[in-house]
Structure 1
Amino acid sequence: MTVQDPDVVATSGAESAAAAGPRAGQIWLTVRTVSEGVTVVAVSGEVDMLTAPQLRADVLPHLDESSTLVLDMSGVSFLGSAGLAVLVEASQHAKRRGAAFRVVAVERAVTRPLAATGLGEVFSVFESVERALEADEPR
């Protein structure tokens, strides 16, 4: 008897699976150092109560190591309250350290929760990584 995971979509080949992106309950993170003390963490997938702990575990240590952290959420397809809580915590952590915390938000899935909660006014939010990196200092 074969049991198939209902969350698995049948694809052919590794390229197809990679192109599909993260499944529900998963996020992908890519970290790159742009220059000394400047780190960009790109997130894709759904940031919800299942994935927010992973986001937190990956972002906070980079704030300890960087003077500027850009969190690129342009690949995020859902941002729930647990994800918003991680952003608030990261912002507070950065302020305590005197570091800059900048968020890149272009998709409605991210911009709408930020606007609805008023957090878009609290964080330094940019429409691209390039603009976030060009900013002289956080708002």
Structure 2
Amino acid sequence: MTSAEPGRRRLGHTGSWPEPHSRVSLREHTPAPGVTVLEVIGDVDLAEAEAIRARMSEMLHQTRPARALLDLSGVGFLGSHGLTAVVRSSRAAGEAGVRLDGVTGPGNRAVIRPVRMTGLDQVITWYPDLDTALGA
């Protein structure tokens, strides 16, 4: 058995401690008048979901767009906490009187599958890419 790197313990054959932290990148932009996009890149689970929810709420109250887009096309994993963040973002948008639509990314099963399985495609209108969403 070989020793682990300094500061890391071996955990059998499955990995090492500490596990790397998952992170997301959030970018807000306004591609058209009255439309604000919150772009999410990375894996979305517990900590990241709270960051998305908070940023969406802040965006809705600061910019007060007529329409908001939650762009998840750069998401590689959308866990249950991430789905909850989408639901909470939808509710916050509704309370603010803002239409919220989503972007899955073309063929992005990491987002499309959980959105369909949970029925979120019945609550929010989803588009395969940002250009299609902006043209709608």
**1:3 match:** 7
Question: Does residue 119 of structure 1 match 2:116?
Answer: no
Match for 2:54: what amino acid?
A: A
**2:94 match:** 95
**CA-atom RMSD, angstroms?**
1.9
Match for 1:120: what amino acid?
A: D
TM score, norm. by length of structure 2:
0.79
**Larger strand proportion, structure 1 or 2?**
2
Report which of the two structures shows the higher radius of gyration computed on alpha carbons: 2
In structure 1, which of residues 22, 45, 48 is the aligned counterpart of residue 45 of structure 2?
48
Q: Which runs of 4+ in 1 moved over 2 A?
A: 1-8
Take 1:130 and 1:104, find their aligned partners in 2: how far apart are those partners?
Answer: 10
Structure 2 spans left out of the alignment, 5+ residues: 9-16
**For each residue in 1:38-86, what CA deviation from the matched residue of structure 2 results, as whole angstroms up to 9, or x when unmatched?**
1111111111012111111111111222221111101101111111111
Alignment of 1:50-69 (within 5 A): 50-64=47-61, 65=63, 66-69=65-68
Task: Report the identity percentage.
Answer: 36
Aligned residues: 120
TM score, norm. by length of structure 1:
0.77
Structure 1 spans left out of the alignment, 5+ residues: 9-23
